[in-house]
A and B are shown apart, each in its own frame.
Chain A
Amino acid sequence: MGQVSIKDFETLLPGVEVRPAGPEVAVDGHQPMAVVLPASREEVSALLRLAWDRELAVSPRGGGVYAHLGNPPRRLDLVVVTTGLNRVVEYEPADLTAVLEAGLTLARVQEILGQNNQFLPLDPPRPDLATIGGILATNQSGPLRLGYGTARDIVIGTKTVLADGTLIKSGGKVVKNVAGYDLNKLFIGSLGTVGVIVEVAFKVYPKPQAWGTAVGHFGSPEAAWDAVWRLRASVFEPVSLELLGGTLGPAFPADGWRLYARYAGYGPAVERQVRETCGIFEAAGGEAGGLSDAEETFWPALRDLPVSWQAGSGVGVVVRAGMLPTHVPEFLAAAVADFRGRGVGWGWVVRAGVGLAYGYLEGPGNQTLAAAVDAARELARRLGGYLVVERAGPEFKAAVDVWGPLGPELELMRRLKAEFDPKGILNPGRFVGGI
């Protein structure tokens, strides 16, 4: 990059921690020049101003749990690690709202809220590492997605440093607010391409008194889907409903299809729902039972799978397909048939009530795998859906656009990027359509 050396930072950004970058912060093999660790939003602002003036490419980073998401960067000079922004700005339990700095890990947030028997109903992978800023930027969710939605449903305010260093606020800290445009929505899921989120206000929730899980084992995917539709037509409201099939690694059985329905709430209601769900699963031809220990073992393992999964001897990728729930069975059947023909190994975790299917795919080489992913993407697209590659190595990414094609709305997204980051210094090239 040439314009700035680490030494320069000491004079240009006095007091801000700057380190030479090691391989641990490389993004898809691109090695930045330095890692900056701001300790306050003012420091974030100062360093972005500097990057803006000198047109340095910046990649924001939280715990690095999802650093693999996105296309390879077009260029990369600085990685900005936000974990130094770790204060609780304001937490009033009786208001059920909390204002938090974006570098706090989710686990730490849960610990703080837990002291008042409250929690944030978001469960993306690796809460011990994932920061709330990173979770927002990548719009990651977990099995609780069905019951509680995503970050967009619980975020009530954000503070963000824009590409030129300007600090802006959107929303506020009350649960209803329509003053001005809802710019929170711009930053959630933007992969750090329009600003660096430094503070987030959330609605928080009372912790459910009880949790319970029913599991059904089915001989065919058709029987499992039958159980899904029966359950969805009932008055029961599982907070998670996950259908697992194929090979998902040592922690998960690999025979047939299993449907897990998880409930949260008052004890007697949870008990009844687990019991009657087992009845529904049996009526659909499954073997059913309650799953004890599920909160301690099964759900955390499933939550972390998108980042903990490892391919065997071949090359592996993790994909996420999204479509209307009723289209998923057809998608899965066709994709699985296609994978079999190519010798690609597969396991699926389907967020059945939501319409998200996480695929864990393993092939003999990148080429075969890329062809399989292209085929699955085309199947998803024909069913009105999409497919994103969430995790893959640089060689795979060289062959496949991880986001896939977008429709004509891409034009508006490009305009947004051009308005908010006209110099293209924030995560250039990593987002949709080369944004």
Chain B
Amino acid sequence: MAATGNGSLLSALREVVGPEAVLYDPDELAVYEYDGALDRARPDFVVFPQTAEQVAGVVRVCNRYGVPFVARGAGTGLSGGAIPVRGGVLVVLTRMNRIQQVDYPNRVAVVEPGVINVTVTEEVAPDGYYYAPDPSSQKACTIGGNVAENSGGPHCLAYGVTTNHVLALDIVLPDGNMLHVGGPAPDRPGYDLTGLLTGSEGTLAIFTRAWLRLMRQPEAVRTFLAIFDRLDDASETVSDVIAHGIVPAALEMMDKLTIEAVEPAVKAGYPPEAEAVLLIEVEGLRESVDVQSELVRQVCQFHRAREIREAETLEARERLWAGRKGALGALGRLAPNYCLQDGVVPRTKLPWILRRVAEHGRKYGFRIANVFHAGDGNLHPCILFDEREPGATERVLECAAAILKDCVDAGGTITGEHGVGVEKQNWMPWLFSEADLDAMARLKRCFNPKELLNPGKVFPTTKSCVELSGDVVERAEKLGIPLV
């Protein structure tokens, strides 16, 4: 390697982050060629900076060599956001994992980007606070990844998604400059750069620090499991709860196939013969929780819930949630592969879209499990398949496309929280005109004009994934990097 031009790139990177913090051995790179989605692309180097200055240093080196670079948190992303489709340097932020400050009177936590989501709440919970956005992957995913994807979670129904909880950011721009944007002072004058960066899928800047809003734990929480014999009854309950003016803290749904997967694995106590269950949580002051609980019961009963169980203890509550948060892991055992989708419909369209999902499953010949943020109308059809079966992967993508097209036709969207990444870029025109996309491109030009940071994402491309992996090979050859 040292003989190629690349050798000096290696030494430049080592100079910035230290020799221990650069990987380039193909065997070591292999784990970094995918995230939680289906596509793959291998980086040429992986670096582990420990400070914002090091991130900026790496970015400057990449600029000097004209090499693309991509930020990566825990790699749990579900749209291929963290895979380097044009190779280059993967900037892994997991070593920047300190909670730097917790400030209760102002309800702010200042954290580095590699902090794992759940550790923020763990840090402040003993004092009666929490960080609201709670992706199901919260035990693994990082705050940097959350901000990049504008992640949601079960408790985002009442409190909003990541963008509603990020007050300010320190960033490294794609040219290597470091900048602070936003508060924490509220409503600063000027364009809302923090808001524009949140949900930018790692294509506008690398976050090196975030100011997060903390919330006070509620006085009372009550958690219910409503059990239904018909899927339609469950989904009608969801839209009716919302229509009744009740905003539960969480309103999650799981169908029969999900329950079948979850029970043996997690033993959450979901009845295996049920067609669907709703996990409903209401919280707040004792008095309002009582009123809301009664209303929720009534709506469930009206829609023929067979049974409504309440978690009487903290342990019982955690068990009910363990089923929900462990659902995807459990589904992984039902089939060799799954493709997890992420569409949104207006809540009143839930009964309709769930029927359509089932129809698409029958048509394409796949079992599809549904486990999702029902209260937001954010469905996660999980298509089970076996990639060894010839043509299965292509059919899965067709099936997913058909479902998401229905979501769009119903007035919804192709992604509620997982992002566009490489997986959905060519479906963007279902939602956005040329002019809409051009406006987004203008925004991108302001931050990332040379497109060295996370190229080839979000915007539609004519290239298929296969061609993209072709690019990797070609480029690797050019750089003289051996591929396995």
Among the stretches B9-17, B185-193, B315-323, B383-391, the one at the interface with A is B185-193
Nearest A residue to B204, CB-CB: A181
Whether the pair B106, A324 counts as a contact (CB closer than 8 A) is: yes
With beta carbons under 8 angstroms apart, the residue of B150, B185, B243, B437 that contacts A385 is B185
Among the stretches B42-50, B134-142, B195-203, the one at the interface with A is B195-203
Nearest B residue to A418, CB-CB: B446
For residue A391, give the distance in angstroms from its CB to the closest CB of chain B. 14
Please encode chain A, from 101 to 114, with 1 for each CB lying within 8 Å of some chain B CB and 0 for all others.
Answer: 00000000000000
Please encode chain A, from 380 to 399, with 1 for each CB lying within 8 Å of some chain B CB and 0 for all others.
Answer: 00001110100000000000
What residues of chain A lie closer than 8 Å to B217, measured between beta carbons? 235
For residue A203, give the distance in angstroms from its CB to the closest CB of chain B. 9
For residue B166, give the distance in angstroms from its CB to the closest CB of chain A. 11
Please encode chain B, from 314 to 349, with 1 for each CB lying within 8 Å of some chain A CB and 0 for all others.
Answer: 000000000000000000000000000000111110
For residue B433, give the distance in angstroms from its CB to the closest CB of chain A. 7
Q: What CA separation (Å) do A92 and B288 show in the bound complex?
A: 26
Whether the pair B191, A181 counts as a contact (CB closer than 8 A) is: no
What residues of chain A lie closer than 8 Å to B204, measured between beta carbons? 181
For residue B35, give the distance in angstroms from its CB to the closest CB of chain A. 16
For residue B220, give the distance in angstroms from its CB to the closest CB of chain A. 9
Interface residues on B, range: 35 or more
Whether the pair A168, B106 counts as a contact (CB closer than 8 A) is: no
What residues of chain B lie closer than 8 Å to A292, measured between beta carbons? none
Please judge, given known A-B contacts A95-B348, A206-B247, whether A186 and B191 are in contact too, CB under 8 Å. Answer: yes
Whether the pair A92, B346 counts as a contact (CB closer than 8 A) is: yes
Nearest B residue to A183, CB-CB: B439
**In this assembly, does A189 line the interface, its C-beta being within 8 Å of a C-beta of chain B?**
yes
Q: What CA separation (Å) do A153 and B166 show in the bound complex?
A: 11
What residues of chain B lie closer than 8 Å to A150, measured between beta carbons? 187
**In this assembly, does A229 line the interface, its C-beta being within 8 Å of a C-beta of chain B?**
yes
**In this assembly, does A308 line the interface, its C-beta being within 8 Å of a C-beta of chain B?**
no
Whether the pair A403, B189 counts as a contact (CB closer than 8 A) is: yes
Please judge, given known A-B contacts A153-B160, A206-B247, A265-B284, whether A174 and B377 are in contact too, CB under 8 Å. Answer: yes
Nearest A residue to B211, CB-CB: A324
Whether the pair A268, B347 counts as a contact (CB closer than 8 A) is: no
Q: What CA separation (Å) do A186 and B196 show in the bound complex?
A: 7
What residues of chain B lie closer than 8 Å to A95, measured between beta carbons? 239, 242, 346-348, 377
**In this assembly, does A94 line the interface, its C-beta being within 8 Å of a C-beta of chain B?**
yes
With beta carbons under 8 angstroms apart, the residue of A97, A168, A272 that contacts B346 is A97
What residues of chain B lie closer than 8 Å to A194, measured between beta carbons? 191
Residue from A176, A177, A229 having most chain B Cβ neighbours under 10 A: A176
**In this assembly, does A427 line the interface, its C-beta being within 8 Å of a C-beta of chain B?**
no
Whether the pair B188, A322 counts as a contact (CB closer than 8 A) is: yes
**In this assembly, does A83 line the interface, its C-beta being within 8 Å of a C-beta of chain B?**
no
What residues of chain A lie closer than 8 Å to B198, measured between beta carbons? 182, 185
Residue from A181, A190, A356, A384 having most chain B Cβ neighbours under 10 A: A181
What residues of chain A lie closer than 8 Å to B377, measured between beta carbons? 95, 174-176
Q: What CA separation (Å) do A356 and B106 show in the bound complex?
A: 12
Nearest B residue to A189, CB-CB: B192
Whether the pair B446, A177 counts as a contact (CB closer than 8 A) is: no
For residue A103, give the distance in angstroms from its CB to the closest CB of chain B. 22
With beta carbons under 8 angstroms apart, the residue of B185, B239, B284, B412 that contacts A324 is B185
Whether the pair B179, A181 counts as a contact (CB closer than 8 A) is: no
Whether the pair A326, B193 counts as a contact (CB closer than 8 A) is: no
**In this assembly, does A211 line the interface, its C-beta being within 8 Å of a C-beta of chain B?**
no
**In this assembly, does A93 line the interface, its C-beta being within 8 Å of a C-beta of chain B?**
yes
**In this assembly, does B218 line the interface, its C-beta being within 8 Å of a C-beta of chain A?**
yes
Interface residues, chain B, with chain A CB atoms under 8 Å away: 103-108, 128, 149-150, 152, 156, 160-161, 163-164, 179-181, 183-193, 195-196, 198-200, 204, 216-219, 239-240, 242-243, 245-247, 284-288, 291-292, 344-348, 373, 376-378, 411-420, 424, 428, 431-433, 435-440, 442-447, 458
Q: A269-B286, A408-B180 are in contact. List 4 more A-B contacts (CB 8 A).
A: A175-B344, A186-B191, A190-B191, A269-B288
Instruction: Show 5 A/B contacts (Cβ-Cβ < 8 Å), sorted by A.
Output: A96-B242, A180-B428, A185-B198, A268-B288, A420-B442
Interface residues, chain A, with chain B CB atoms under 8 Å away: 92-97, 117-118, 139, 141, 149-150, 152-153, 162, 166-170, 172-186, 188-190, 194, 205-207, 229, 232-233, 235-237, 265-266, 268-269, 272-273, 320, 322-326, 354-356, 384-386, 388, 403-404, 406-410, 412-413, 415-416, 419-420, 431-433
